[in-house]
């Protein structure tokens, strides 16, 4: 009785919540291997197993899934690394250097952080209409334009977080490197970056996931079938014929999930720090 | 972190027999950090130092070479000036030894200004215009559009044999052949600027130009490939334009609406009606108050904001969306925090086994791509095929009724959000000293009292900044609503504002919804969302400061 009272209820609660957490995922898995591939025949548990949906996903010429996958991965990887890098650079300046406008800059960033970039979607659309005319390689239907656009939001989102991390690294470490004759760049690249690498990995992972899921910009930016990202492409796949395409969609979702979930679980123990360490202290 | 092999490279300059290249210079930095005894000296010029500058200059040059020519050929002089100024700043900052902080801040700042600050400022200025479908360009463009769209074929208009061709700079032109009453052929070339005679061209049996100096005539296949371009091409003439009719014939069309600069009005040739320009509306308005559908962009002041208050078709739904928006954001944060905290509390005991497994399973919803899971949830709520109705044997139109759709949204958002709350609550719980909870239980508090009076307040203090950011995030949680309900269900009499619309999905539909883009109005609503989010964050951060003072 006391076991139930002390520990048992915990397991009961946790098992219930785990069931709640897992059942949509179980449904996706079961739908992905469902040989019939329709929404109406998909159950919570698999009723048969086949790779028919995966096969269709890679061969159906209406839905260039491989292109979407490459586009999404490319955009998300490059923008995750680039945005972490440029905000890390800024955070290094804010954390380690004294200069005029430092406080002002930090405050401005805090303010900008409150305004999500996508609120300006109307004018970004207008700006990129001009960009498409002038520099088509960075315009609509090109991943590079979208990438550059995402980098615009990087500084506002991550700098405070990164500065929080950097403030926890003892100054003596880079100061001693400087005394030894290292330049500011050497102290940054050789001393600071390796020390905060795990936390950078987590931030990059979160940025990666955020970019993979981004829909607003991608939806009006990429309208050619082959230039779409996974979010836009898979959305379109079941926008029209949702019952018939559901199996293919589930297979695509699963393939999208596998890499991120793997990295996520791998970095699990750093993630809590990544989420809390840089939180803006009020 | 020093590499032991570096010193050998220095002495072995000739190693690798046969390589006639100069020995790789030893990066200065490795040496100096390896030997801590060297005092800080004025830095020499190292390879790293040089490489950094070369890369910076190369990047600037590459950007200029790529971005410059289109700006110059398009005569965007302001753009040229900005590009030059930015290039100079970059070159100066990275070449000079001073301004070290700027070197680190510049890359992010450039992106920030170009793609966040400028768009936001531009949004504010767009919000006071009527920019949108029907008001896209300036007045001259509107006049051209009105005249072009009023082109009509009139009786006895000249007809031409048409050969679409490309000129030397690959621009589309029309090579045109007419035969007058006397049977004389006349060959002309029509460009976007007008008609010109074209002597010395060969005309074939079909009455079309087959060869002309300086022009490449498109064969049937190429012409078919450019059919759309050819169909849109118009050669202006005095009172109208020559347009293609099919790919081998062209006809002269006459404008039935003509602009007269003298009265600043457009006259309908057939009926004689005069439409006078109204600069406050950006339309040509007729005598009965009706207007031509093509207008131009004008400043409308605060009209877009006034519509939100004065126009009953907009103000009611807008207020409804606003209230729902707050309810949605609050309950998303509340429920996902509650569930996440319950998980964290249940796991927060040394007696529980399988912590790692539980944790891994619990964060799975957070690791899955949320856009896909949102779509999966939407289809689980499907009335006819959805899993939920099949499991419960019900036939509820979950997303078709306002209340169930709202319930579904909050449930789904809780599912997506609770793992994050679980992770941060676990972190915060571990930071609360055990003595505090133990002390309260020694003082005779029950577990519930201990939680309510000690643990919860401390958790809230630690997590309130995160809860506020989570609120701000959910306030604009576009994906959740767009993917599950698209803002619907919509009331029968109003297709523009649905029961689950957030302000952001409403804005999106105004701008890109397909039924006439209203960019100016959408920008006005964006501005209002800016204001709301900023105010709420400011108030909330003030409150948290108070909370911290109370509990610390």
Q: Which of A193, A198, A230, A197 is nearest to A76 (CA)?
A: A230
Q: How many distinct structural domains can be found in chain A? A: 1
Burial of B134 (0-12, 13-18, 19+ CB in 10 A): buried
Lowest-pLDDT range of A43-52, A99-108, B395-404, B422-431: A43-52
CA-to-CA dists, residue A81 to A67, A143, A212, B239, B368, angstroms: 21, 16, 14, 58, 20
Q: What is d(CA B227, CA B235) in angstroms, rounded to the nearest whole number?
A: 16
Q: Is B169 helix (H, G, I), strand (E, B) or coil?
A: coil
Choose among A114, A124, A230: nearest Cβ to B472. A114
Mean pLDDT of A62-82: 90
Q: What's the fold here for domain B310-551? A: MetI-like fold (1.10.3720)
A161: in domain: yes
* Cβ–Cβ below 8 Å for A282 and B349: no
Chain A CA closest to residue B428:
A276
**CA dihedral in degrees (A31, A34, A40, A41; nearest 10)?**
-140
How many alpha carbons fall within 13 Å on the CB side of residue B287? 6
User: What is residue B324's predicted lDDT score, i.e. its pLDDT?
Assistant: 93
Q: In this predicted model, what pLDDT tens digit does every residue of A10-37 receive, in sequence order?
A: 899 999 999 999 989 998 888 888 887 7
pLDDT tens for each residue of A198-255:
778 878 888 888 888 888 889 888 888 888 999 899 888 887 777 788 888 889 999 9
Report how far residue B498's alpha carbon sits from residue A36's, in angstroms, rounded to the nearest whole number. 35
> Minimal Cα distance from B473: which residue of A?
A116
Residue A178: inside a domain? yes
Q: Tell me, what's the pLDDT at B497? A: 82
Question: How far apart are the CA of B257 and the nearest CA of chain A, in angstroms?
Answer: 30
**How does the average pLDDT of chain A come out, rounded?**
83
| Residue contact A90–B104, C-beta within 8 A | yes
| Closest CB from B32, B377, B426 relative to A24 | B377
Other beta carbons within 10 Å of A262: 11
Domain range for residue A260?
62-276
Task: Choose the closest CB to B115 out of A149, A216, A279.
Answer: A149
Between B335 and A282, whose confidence is greater?
Answer: B335
Say if A28 falls within a structural domain: no
- B541 vs A contacts (CB less than 8 Å): 282
Q: What is the arithmetic mean of pLDDT over A176-194?
A: 85
3-state secondary structure of B234: strand
| pLDDT tens, position by position, A137-152 | 888 888 888 998 888 8
**Residue A240, domain CATH:** 1.10.3720.10
**What letter does residue A118 receive in the DSSP assignment?**
G
Which chain B residues contact residue A234 at CB under 8 A? 371-372, 375
A6 within a domain of the structure (yes/no): no
**Closest to A182 in 3D by CA, of B326, B64, B44:** B44
pLDDT at B405: 93
Residues of B in contact with A2 (CB under 8 A): none
- Whether omega before B522 lies within 30 degrees of 0, making that bond cis, reads no
Q: Residue B513's pLDDT is what?
A: 74
- Identify all chain A residues contacting B420, using CB atoms and an 8 Å cutoff: 275
* Residue B472 near residue B533, CB atoms below 8 Å: yes
Look at A20 and B373 and tell me if their CB atoms are within 8 Å: no
Contact: A250, B370; criterion CB under 8 Å? no
Give first-to-last CA distance, chain A, whole Å: 45
With 0-12 CB in 10 A as exposed, 13-18 as middle and 19+ as buried, what is B165?
buried
Q: What is the pLDDT of residue A281?
A: 33
Residue of A122, A189, A242 to mutate for B, most B C-beta atoms under 10 A: A122
> Span A95-104, mean pLDDT?
86
Residues of chain B with pLDDT under 50: 1-41, 552
A103 in a domain, yes or no?
yes
């Amino acid at each position: 009785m006391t076991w139930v009272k002390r520990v048992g209820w915990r397991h009961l609660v946790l098992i219930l919540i785990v069931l709640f957490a897992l059942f949509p995922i179980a449904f996706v898995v079961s739908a992905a291997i469902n040989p019939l591939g329709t929404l109406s025949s998909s159950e919570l548990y698999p009723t048969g197993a086949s790779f028919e949906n995966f096969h269709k996903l890679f061969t159906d010429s209406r839905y260039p899934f491989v292109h979407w996958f490459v586009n999404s991965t490319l955009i998300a990887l490059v923008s995750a690394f680039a945005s972490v890098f440029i905000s890390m650079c800024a955070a290094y300046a804010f954390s380690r250097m004294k200069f005029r406008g430092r406080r002002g800059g930090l405050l401005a960033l805090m303010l900008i952080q409150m305004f999500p970039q996508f609120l300006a979607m109307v004018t970004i659309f207008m700006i990129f209409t001009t960009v498409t005319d002038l520099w088509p390689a960075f315009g609509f239907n090109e991943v590079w334009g979208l990438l550059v656009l995402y980098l615009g939001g990087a500084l506002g989102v991550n700098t405070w977080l990164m500065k929080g991390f950097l403030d926890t690294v003892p100054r003596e470490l880079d100061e001693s490197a400087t005394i030894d004759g290292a330049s500011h760049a050497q102290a940054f690249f050789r001393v600071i970056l390796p020390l905060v690498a795990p936390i950078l990995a987590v931030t990059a992972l979160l940025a990666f996931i955020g970019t993979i899921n981004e829909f607003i910009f991608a939806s009006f930016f990429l309208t050619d079938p082959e230039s779409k990202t996974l979010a836009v492409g898979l959305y379109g796949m079941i926008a029209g014929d949702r019952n018939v395409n559901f199996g293919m969609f589930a297979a695509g979702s699963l393939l999208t999930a596998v890499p991120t979930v793997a990295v996520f679980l791998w970095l699990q123990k750093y993630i809590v720090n990544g989420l809390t360490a840089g939180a803006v202290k009020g | 972190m020093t590499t032991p092999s570096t010193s050998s490279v220095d002495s072995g300059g000739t190693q690798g027999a046969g390589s006639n290249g100069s020995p790789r210079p030893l990066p200065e930095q490795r040496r100096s950090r390896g030997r801590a005894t060297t005092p800080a000296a004025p830095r020499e010029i190292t390879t790293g130092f040089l490489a950094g500058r070369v890369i910076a200059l190369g990047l600037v040059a590459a950007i200029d070479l790529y971005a410059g020519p289109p700006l110059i050929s398009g005569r965007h002089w302001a753009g040229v000036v900005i590009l030059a100024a930015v290039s100079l700043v970059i070159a100066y900052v990275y070449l000079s030894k001073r301004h070290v902080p700027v070197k680190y801040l510049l890359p992010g700042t450039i992106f920030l200004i170009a793609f966040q600050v400028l768009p936001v400022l531009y949004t504010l200025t767009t919000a006071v215009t009527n920019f949108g479908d029907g008001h896209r360009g300036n007045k001259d463009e509107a006049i051209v559009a009105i005249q072009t769209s009023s082109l009509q074929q009139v009786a006895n208009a000249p007809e031409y044999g048409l050969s679409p061709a490309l000129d030397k700079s690959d621009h589309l032109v029309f090579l045109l052949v007419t035969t007058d009453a006397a049977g004389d052929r006349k060959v002309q070339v029509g460009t976007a600027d007008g008609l010109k005679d074209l002597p010395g061209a060969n005309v074939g049996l079909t009455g079309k130009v087959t060869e002309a100096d300086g022009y490449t005539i498109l064969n049937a296949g190429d012409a078919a490939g450019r059919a759309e371009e050819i169909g849109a091409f118009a050669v202006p003439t005095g009172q109208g334009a020559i347009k293609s009719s099919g790919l081998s014939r062209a006809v002269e069309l006459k404008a039935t609406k003509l602009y007269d600069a003298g009265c600043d009005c457009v006259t309908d040739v057939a009926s004689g009606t005069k439409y006078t320009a109204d600069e406050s509306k950006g339309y040509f308005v007729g005598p009965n108050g009706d207007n031509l559908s093509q207008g131009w962009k004008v400043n409308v002041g605060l009209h877009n904001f006034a519509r939100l208050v004065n126009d009953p078709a907009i103000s009611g739904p807008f207020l409804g969306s606003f209230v729902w928006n707050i309810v949605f954001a609050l309950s998303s944060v509340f429920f996902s925090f509650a569930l996440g905290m319950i998980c964290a509390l249940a796991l927060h005991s040394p007696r529980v086994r399988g912590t790692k497994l539980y944790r891994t399973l619990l964060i799975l919803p957070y690791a899955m791509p949320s856009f896909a899971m949102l779509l999966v949830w939407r289809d689980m709520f499907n009335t006819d095929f959805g899993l939920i109705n099949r499991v419960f044997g019900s036939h509820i139109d979950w997303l078709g009724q306002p209340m169930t759709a709202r319930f579904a949204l909050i449930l789904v958002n809780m599912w997506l959000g609770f793992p994050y709350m679980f992770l941060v609550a676990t972190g915060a719980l571990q930071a609360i000293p055990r003595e505090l909870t133990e002390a309260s239980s020694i003082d005779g508090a029950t577990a519930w009292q201990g939680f309510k009076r000690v643990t919860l307040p401390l958790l809230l203090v630690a997590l309130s900044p995160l809860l506020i950011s989570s609120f701000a995030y959910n306030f604009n949680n576009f994906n959740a609503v767009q993917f599950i309900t698209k803002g619907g269900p919509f009331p029968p009499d109003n297709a523009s504002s649905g029961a689950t619309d957030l302000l952001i999905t409403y804005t999106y539909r105004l701008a890109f919804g397909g039924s006439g883009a209203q960019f100016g109005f959408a920008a006005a609503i964006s501005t209002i969302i800016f204001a709301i989010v900023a105010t709420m964050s400011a108030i909330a951060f003030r409150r948290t400061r108070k909370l911290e003072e109370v509990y610390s």
